[in-house]
């Protein structure tokens, strides 16, 4: 006890008290950047001649300047500006000031006064023009400051009388970009007064001139320099683009400029006349040398039509394009552009009653004693045309016959726009468009076909017109032929002979170009649907039937016979009496084609036979609504799951996935939404199986099989999330957040499995840090959707975020494992329209047993023809993969020119893939498939940029990959050994 007491005494009285050491205050470092202005000042001082100064300024222009340094740099530049005698150096300095004023987060108003002071001493016209350009940059950076705008307009007004055209151009540009039509300057440019249109032109002495921007600009329509006249018109157009209403008073001036000697002036004047015709279409303008009046839009249409015969092809293109935008013109003016003959000089002729009344009112009658005393006293000049210029008559005829193909294309486009707004004009211009099918330029032929397709609902082709159209089927260009097939799909013909002629020519096309098979079949499908009554009298001849004798059964492998059947069966859908003309083998062929080519052969009600599949049921009129209801009910059943570990959750997920997959197969309109929902539920099912409670309680060596299964499930979940994000279009921000939530769950599962199977702390720390960065990135990107994710996995992680950032890797893994098992099921809400990207390889078909032979070591071209549906940016994302039997794989990026866009959300890929391999002993199959490339480093969904997270990038690294979409095709190839 004594020893114990002694020990306790020592403990009580032998304590060592350690005073806390006073820490020395940390030294604060202040990082300073080298001053841009000081470096520039030193460089300019070192310059011994203007050439060196220009070199220093050019080098400085390539470097970046911070916003806080801009003002100081401008001061240094201006200081050297006043010292410099060389005009080129001062010009470069003025240009640099304008460039610096565009610096982000810099207010250029602070350098405005210094820039304006340079005008007091500057004598060089070129430098003055550059200084005005700098003021224009400053003015556009400060659009809300009225004081700055007024000061700049005053400077422009003062220099409008400069002798150099460049200065006047910049002044006019300043007035157009900053001027107003309701406030004006006085003659001295000292202030703003209410606008009063009138007064003398600027530079004319005497009196005070009060002008607004429009009247000032219009004075320079008659400038001696054509470049200034062009700048004046463009400045006036700039006023219009800013939303200011231009007055009608300048119409006559603009019309006079249509006859200018300078082509740029005439081109700009065409735009000016068109703008006025759109602003004042119903205004009445007088006709020169006549008492008649016409609407302004009709008068301007005639004047612009006259410019289609201009000497410059640039003006002709501009005039032809402008005519297509004048939809308010009167029909008789519009139709005159298709007739070269000027009927009755387009003068208003008085009736006999009006002439007699005028004669009676004058009190004069012909006595017959004097020769020609009743002749008209008005002398009519045959060269004078009152209502419309003679050059405007047949304007489109001239445009379609122009020597420049650009003018012909512009005329075709203008005809398209005008014909779509007028059915009568569409009928009259039909012959002219059909004649353009024989143009020597392929681009013109293709454009005329597209235009005729756009107006095909208003026209009906005659037999002679159809003959000209079908002649294009012999064109060697595939794009031309397919465009013509598309035209025939939506064209109406007049007689049964037209149907027969079209069928014969299409069958010739099929024989000459077998690759057009699918396009020809589709064309005949629509041709039969639109003309059932014209196909009916041709059925016995088309099917080779006889009322008394049996005819031989045609070969079903013949594409031409299939084409005839597609035409007849689609016509029979609207003509019930046609089926009575079918023979027995025709019914058998219908059943076969209905199963093999269901997209071309419609369901028919056949007499004495069971109802064809697809007439009722899921493809009926109310099938879409019932399928939509079924989809919503399936998702609402899934929403009853509160936790993934609930009993029966897996069975419910399995049944729902099966139903949704079947729904996508039966109802094509809802295939995208059904597949999207099934894929999302499949990810949840994989997570449920990977988090089974009994297996996670075992030790790792006792459950290696489960770890392998869970690892494969996590990997498949990641792949499915990339499919959900990049394979489907029409997703909203809510769905993108749900997809990223599933991806975070998969990565958390991978992190837990990594911690269970690996040993060591260092790799685990880096993996945990990366996962926390991804959680933080998710929070930034989807801050708007976080209220909807409260009970989910991410919601619970964000509640524990302070703890997660401070805990050790082992504790983080335990938290993630517990949170994964306890997190609630996140319901899926579908957007209005979800479409799945799909691809169908048309060529090669993969049905041929004949191998493609070529010499080993050399290359052979394999034609690829595929249809793409709902693919975003196919030029950069679609790739072709070739997989050889030995495991080699080649990925080919098609050229941008290989893609066509035949319709909305549809693309066509026509390309060639070059194959090469060493010699084989026998023919083997290669696999050709299409891939969709993706990259998770870019915000490819447009909805992300609509939120407040615009410009943010995900914290994860760039994850790039490819997704196969569409069925692959197998092709036999046989590389032969080279002969020696």
pLDDT in tens, 806-864: 777 777 888 887 788 777 777 777 777 888 888 888 888 877 778 888 888 888 899 88
Cα distance from N-terminal residue to C-terminal residue, the chain: 110
Place of tokens 């001036």: 253
What pLDDT does 661 receive?
81
Does the pLDDT of residue 531 top 60, yes or no? yes
On average, the pLDDT of the chain sits at 78
Q: What is the pLDDT of residues 853-886, one digit of tens each?
A: 888 888 889 988 888 888 888 888 899 999 998 8
Q: Which residues lie across from 932 on neighbouring strands?
A: 878, 963
Does the pLDDT of residue 187 top 50, yes or no? no
Q: How do beta strands 969-976 and 852-855 pair?
A: parallel
Distance, in Å, from the CA atom of 594 to the CA atom of 600, rounded to the nearest integer, reads 8
Number of domains in the chain: 5
In a domain, 593, yes or no: yes
Beta strands in 560-684 (DSSP E): none
Q: What are phi and psi of 278, to 5 degrees?
A: -85, -30
CA distances from 89 to 48, 49, 70 (A): 13, 10, 19
Compare 239 and 639 and report the one with higher pLDDT. Answer: 239
Tokens of 884: 């050889």
Distance, in Å, from the CA atom of 74 to the CA atom of 89, rounded to the nearest integer, reads 15
In a domain, 5, yes or no: no
* Domain match, 795 and 847 both: no
Domain carrying residue 902? 837-943+958-976
In a domain, 465, yes or no: no
In a domain, 584, yes or no: yes
pLDDT band at 607 (very low <50, low <70, confident <90, very high): low
**Residue at a domain's end among 459, 487, 510:** 459
Q: What is the pLDDT of residues 325-373, one digit of tens each?
A: 888 888 888 888 887 654 444 444 455 555 666 665 665 555 566 566 5
Pair 669, 620: CB distance under 8 Å: no
What pLDDT does 407 receive?
92
* Domain match, 818 and 843 both: no
* Domain match, 592 and 718 both: no
What pLDDT does 718 receive?
87
Residues sharing a CB contact under 8 Å with residue 357, sequence separation 6 or more, in sequence order: none
Give one DSSP letter per residue of 609-639, joined into a string. Answer: SPPPTTSSGGGSTTHHHHHHHHHHHHHHHHT
Does the pLDDT of residue 958 top 80, yes or no? no
Distance, in Å, from the CA atom of 244 to the CA atom of 240, rounded to the nearest integer, reads 5
* Domain match, 653 and 712 both: yes
CA distances from 99 to 93, 108, 133, 173 (A): 10, 11, 10, 18
* Domain match, 452 and 487 both: no
Q: How far is CA 493 from the centre of its chain?
A: 34
In a domain, 204, yes or no: no
* Domain match, 691 and 815 both: yes
What pLDDT does 772 receive?
82
Give one DSSP letter per residue of 544-580, joined into a string. Answer: T--SSSPPPPPPTT-HHHHHHHHHHHHHHTS-GGGGG
Pair 714, 749: CB distance under 8 Å: yes
**Residue at a domain's end among 198, 229, 247:** 247
pLDDT band at 761 (very low <50, low <70, confident <90, very high): low
Q: What is the pLDDT of residues 656-708, one digit of tens each?
A: 888 888 887 877 778 888 888 888 888 888 888 887 755 566 665 556 666 77
What pLDDT does 566 receive?
93
* Domain match, 815 and 883 both: no
What pLDDT does 385 receive?
44
Q: What are phi and psi of 899, to 5 degrees?
A: -100, 135
Q: How do beta strands 889-892 and 899-903 pair?
A: unpaired
Q: Which residues lie across from 838 on neighbouring strands?
A: 869
Q: What is the pLDDT of residues 203-214, one digit of tens each?
A: 333 333 346 788
* Domain match, 455 and 480 both: no
pLDDT band at 898 (very low <50, low <70, confident <90, very high): confident
CATH number at residue 330: 1.25.10.10
Q: Which residues lie across from 212 on neighbouring strands?
A: 184
What pLDDT does 943 receive?
35
CA distances from 919 to 885, 973, 976 (A): 13, 11, 5
Compare 487 and 105 and report the one with higher pLDDT. Answer: 487
* Domain match, 551 and 668 both: no
The dihedral sign for the CA sequence 179, 184, 188, 191: negative
The dihedral sign for the CA sequence 941, 942, 945, 949: negative
CA distances from 855 to 420, 444, 916, 918, 919 (A): 55, 41, 9, 9, 8
Q: What is the pLDDT of residues 129-156, one digit of tens each?
A: 888 888 888 888 887 778 888 888 888 8
Pair 460, 492: CB distance under 8 Å: yes
In a domain, 373, yes or no: no
Residues sharing a CB contact under 8 Å with residue 294, sequence separation 6 or more, in sequence order: 284, 285, 287, 387
Q: What are phi and psi of 914, to 5 degrees?
A: -95, 125
* Domain match, 573 and 659 both: no
In a domain, 832, yes or no: no
Q: What is the pLDDT of residues 253-274, one digit of tens each?
A: 888 899 889 999 999 999 999 9
Does the pLDDT of residue 645 top 50, yes or no? yes
Does the pLDDT of residue 402 top 60, yes or no? yes
* Domain match, 86 and 47 both: yes
Does the pLDDT of residue 619 top 50, yes or no? no
Does the pLDDT of residue 196 top 80, yes or no? no
Place of tokens 């080699």: 888
Q: What are phi and psi of 953, to 5 degrees?
A: -110, 145
Tokens of 630: 């079924």
**Residue at a domain's end among 550, 580, 604:** 604
What pLDDT does 412 receive?
92
For range 708-719, the mean pLDDT: 83
In a domain, 692, yes or no: yes
Q: Which residues lie across from 868 on neighbouring strands?
A: 839, 907
């Amino acid at each position: 006890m004594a020893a114990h007491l002694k020990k306790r005494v020592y403990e009580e009285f032998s304590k060592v008290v350690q005073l806390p050491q006073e820490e020395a205050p940390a030294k604060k470092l202040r990082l300073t950047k080298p001053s841009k202005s000081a470096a520039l000042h030193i460089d300019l001082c070192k310059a011994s001649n203007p050439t060196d100064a220009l070199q220093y300024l050019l080098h400085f222009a390539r470097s970046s300047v911070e916003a806080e340094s801009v003002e100081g740099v401008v001061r240094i530049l201006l200081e050297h500006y006043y010292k410099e005698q060389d005009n080129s150096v001062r010009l470069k300095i003025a240009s640099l000031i304008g460039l610096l004023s565009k610096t982000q987060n810099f207010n250029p108003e602070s350098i405005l006064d210094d820039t304006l002071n340079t005008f007091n001493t500057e004598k060089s016209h070129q430098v003055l023009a550059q200084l005005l350009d700098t003021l224009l940059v400053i003015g556009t950076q400060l659009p809300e400051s009225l004081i700055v705008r007024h000061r700049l307009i005053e400077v422009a007004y003062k220099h409008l009388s400069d002798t150099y055209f460049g200065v006047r151009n910049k002044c006019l540009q300043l007035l157009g970009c900053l001027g107003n039509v309701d406030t004006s300057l006085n003659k001295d440019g000292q202030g703003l007064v209410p606008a009063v249109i009138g007064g003398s032109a600027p530079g004319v002495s005497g009196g005070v001139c009060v002008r607004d921007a429009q009247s000032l600009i219009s004075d320079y329509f008659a400038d001696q320099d054509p470049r200034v006249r062009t700048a004046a018109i463009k400045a006036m157009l700039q006023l219009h683009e800013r939303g200011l209403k231009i007055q009608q008073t300048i119409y006559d001036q603009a019309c006079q400029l249509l006859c200018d000697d300078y082509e740029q002036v005439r081109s700009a004047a065409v735009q000016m006349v068109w703008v006025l015709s759109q602003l004042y279409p119903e205004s009445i303008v007088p006709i020169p040398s006549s008492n008649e009046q016409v609407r302004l839009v009709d008068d301007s249409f005639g004047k612009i039509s006259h410019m289609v015969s201009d000497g410059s092809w640039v003006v002709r293109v501009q005039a032809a394009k402008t005519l297509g935008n004048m939809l308010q013109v009167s029909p008789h003016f519009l139709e005159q552009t298709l007739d070269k003959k000027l009927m009755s000089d387009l003068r208003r002729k008085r009736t006999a009653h009006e002439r007699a009344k005028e004669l009676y009112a004058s009190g004069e009658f012909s006595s017959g004693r004097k020769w020609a005393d009743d002749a008209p006293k008005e002398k009519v000049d045959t060269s004078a045309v009152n209502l419309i210029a003679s050059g405007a008559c047949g304007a489109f005829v001239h445009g379609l016959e122009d020597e420049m193909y650009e003018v012909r294309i512009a005329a075709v486009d203008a005809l398209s726009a005008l014909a779509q707004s007028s059915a009568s004009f569409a009928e009259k211009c039909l012959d002219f468009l059909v004649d353009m099918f024989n143009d020597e330029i392929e681009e013109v032929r293709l454009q005329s076909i597209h235009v005729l397709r756009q107006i095909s609902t208003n026209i009906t082709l005659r037999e002679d017109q159809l003959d000209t159209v079908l002649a294009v089927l012999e064109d060697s260009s595939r794009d031309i032929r397919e465009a013509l097939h598309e035209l025939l799909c939506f064209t109406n013909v007049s007689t049964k002979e037209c149907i027969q002629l079209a069928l014969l020519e299409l069958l010739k096309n099929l024989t000459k170009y077998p690759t057009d098979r699918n396009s020809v079949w589709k064309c005949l499908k629509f041709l039969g649907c639109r003309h059932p009554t014209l196909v009916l009298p041709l059925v016995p001849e088309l099917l080779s039937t006889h009322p008394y004798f049996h005819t031989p059964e045609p070969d079903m492998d013949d594409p031409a016979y299939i084409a005839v059947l597609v035409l007849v069966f689609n016509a029979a859908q609207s003509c019930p009496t046609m089926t009575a003309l079918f023979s027995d083998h025709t019914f058998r062929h219908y059943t076969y084609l209905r199963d093999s080519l269901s997209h071309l052969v419609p369901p028919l009600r056949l007499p004495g036979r069971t109802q064809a599949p697809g007439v009722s049921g899921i493809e009926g009129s109310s099938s879409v609504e019932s399928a939509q209801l079924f989809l919503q009910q399936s998702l609402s059943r899934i929403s009853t799951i509160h936790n993934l570990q609930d009993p029966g959750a897996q069975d419910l997920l399995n049944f729902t996935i099966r139903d949704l997959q079947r729904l996508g197969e039966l109802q094509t309109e809802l295939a995208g939404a059904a597949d999207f929902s099934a894929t999302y539920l499949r990810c949840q099912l994989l997570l449920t199986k990977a988090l089974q409670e009994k297996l996670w309680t075992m030790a790792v060596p006792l459950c290696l099989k489960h770890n392998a299964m869970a690892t494969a499930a996590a990997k498949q979940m990641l792949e499915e999330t990339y499919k959900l994000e990049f394979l489907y279009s029409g997703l909203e921000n809510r769905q993108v957040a749900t997809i990223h939530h599933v991806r975070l769950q998969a990565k958390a599962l991978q992190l837990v499995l990594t911690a269970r199977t690996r040993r060591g702390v260092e790799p685990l720390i880096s993996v945990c840090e990366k996962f926390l960065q991804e959680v933080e990135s998710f929070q930034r990107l989807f801050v708007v959707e976080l209220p909807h994710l409260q009970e989910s996995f991410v919601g619970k992680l964000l509640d524990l975020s302070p703890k997660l950032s401070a805990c050790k890797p082992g504790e983080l893994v335990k938290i993630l494992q517990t949170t994964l098992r306890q997190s609630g099921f996140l319901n899926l809400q579908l957007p209005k329209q979800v479409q799945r990207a799909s691809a169908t390889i048309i060529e090669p078909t993969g049905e041929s047993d004949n191998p493609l032979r070529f010499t080993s070591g050399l290359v052979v071209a394999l034609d690829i023809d595929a249809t793409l549906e709902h693919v975003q940016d196919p030029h950069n994302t679609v790739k072709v993969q070739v997989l050889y039997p030995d495991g080699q794989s080649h990925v080919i990026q098609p050229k941008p020119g290989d893609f066509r866009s035949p319709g909305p959300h549809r693309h066509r890929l026509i390309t060639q893939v070059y194959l090469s391999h060493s010699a084989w002993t026998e023919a083997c199959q290669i696999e050709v498939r299409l891939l969709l490339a993706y990259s998770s480093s870019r915000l490819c969904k447009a909805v992300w940029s609509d939120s407040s997270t615009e410009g943010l990038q995900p914290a994860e690294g760039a994850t790039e990959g490819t997704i196969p979409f569409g069925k692959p095709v197998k092709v036999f190839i046989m590389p032969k050994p080279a002969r020696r």
